[in-house]
Amino acid sequence: MPGFMKTLVTGGAGFIGSNLVDALLQRGDAVTILDNISTGRRENLEGALANGAELAEVDLRDAEAVSALVERTAPEVIFHLGAQVDVRKSVADTAFDAAVNVGGTVNVLNAAKDHGVRRVVFASTGGAIYGEAQTIPAPEDHPVAPEAPYGLSKFCAENYCALYTRLHGLSTVALRFGNVYGPRQDPLGEAGVIAIFCGRVIEGGQPVVFGDGLQTRDYVHVDDIVSANLLAAESDAGGAFNIGRGEEVTVIDIVDVLAPHAQNGFEPDFQPERKGEVRHIALDASRAQQQLGWKSDIGLVEGLQQTLSSLR
């Protein structure tokens, strides 16, 4: 890994972005954070700003401001994590979702092309793109069948990345994350179930489970997501890469792992299932292992314990 590199992290005040910012600073990079602080949190950046990172409050939809920031800071790599990430909001306001996730990505790609950025690493999504898994774990060539506009907007943005590689020679790569969890997680979307359940453990409450709790997701710790971003930045590989553990984990599995840490018992409060929810998904990350040298190092039990400790 390089000792010093200029980097730009969009969405750097968010859950995943702020963890990536910390890792980049730790290895000695100069880091600029682009975030409009609409869902990102300033408190996520207290350490980063004290250690020399710069926060630019810019909206991804503002093409001129994005371009001016890239021109001024001259990053070698842009880690593009800034996004509208709430699945429910994407259904309620589909045009806004597309404006941020598609239009915002085009603005980042144009700025990168115009100002000599070496590499763009795009944060995409696995489960939301594939929809209901026909093959588990799902490979990258799994049929695309999003259940919500969020998955479609991410897939569309991926295709713009690939187009800019073909049309302009811009080096891009898309990382399709599983359900990310860990310190600083904001309980938005279905991945937030771990943050919500950990909160219930600390408060002495009980976990609310929608449906039978046997729906499965591929949960991957944020530290593993950070390592995937760093490896992807150093690689020349293009296209889409699944970043997950390839393991199906049920909601009940999460309850069972957390139960021993609860003071007053931890019994599921079953509620009616939510319509339109994907039933089963896990990601085949063998391509990432072969071409990026990435694999997940943090198992569920260890990751949940670490997440719980970070909230106490």
- Planar angle of CA 242, 245, 248, nearest 5 degrees: 110
8: its two tokens? 């730009």
Q: Any idea which residue has 């790609």 for tokens?
A: 109
- CB count within 10 Å of CB 192 equals 17
- Estimate to the nearest angstrom the gap between the alpha carbon of 126 and the chain centroid: 10
Instruction: Report the distance separating Cα 21 and Cα 191, nearest Å.
Output: 21
Nearest residue to 108 via CA among 164, 154, 151, 49: 164
pLDDT at 187: 59
pLDDT at 3: 59
229: its two tokens? 């971003």
Q: Could you state, in order of their start, the residue ranges of all structural domains in the chain? A: 6-181+220-244+286-297
pLDDT at 1: 47
The yes-or-no answer on residue 150 being catalytic is yes
Instruction: Report the distance separating Cα 287 and Cα 293, nearest Å.
Output: 9
Q: Which fold has domain 6-181+220-244+286-297?
A: Rossmann fold (3.40.50)
CA within 13 Å, CB half, 133: 22
Per-position b or e across 27-53, b if 16+ CB within 10 A of its CB: eebbbbbbbbeebbeeebbeebeeeeb
* Among 150, 160, 164, 181, the one annotated catalytic: 150
Instruction: Report the distance separating Cα 182 and Cα 191, nearest Å.
Output: 10
> How would you write the pLDDT of the chain (312 residues) with one tens digit per residue?
455 899 999 999 999 999 999 999 999 999 999 999 999 999 999 999 999 999 999 999 999 999 999 999 999 999 999 999 998 899 999 999 999 999 999 999 999 999 999 999 999 999 899 999 999 999 999 999 999 999 999 999 999 999 999 999 999 999 999 999 999 986 554 558 999 999 899 989 999 999 999 999 999 999 999 999 999 999 999 999 999 999 999 999 999 999 999 998 999 999 999 877 789 999 999 999 999 999 999 999 999 999 999 888
Residue type, 270: F
The continuous run of DSSP H or E covering 54 comes out as: strand 54-56
pLDDT at 191: 52
pLDDT at 222: 97
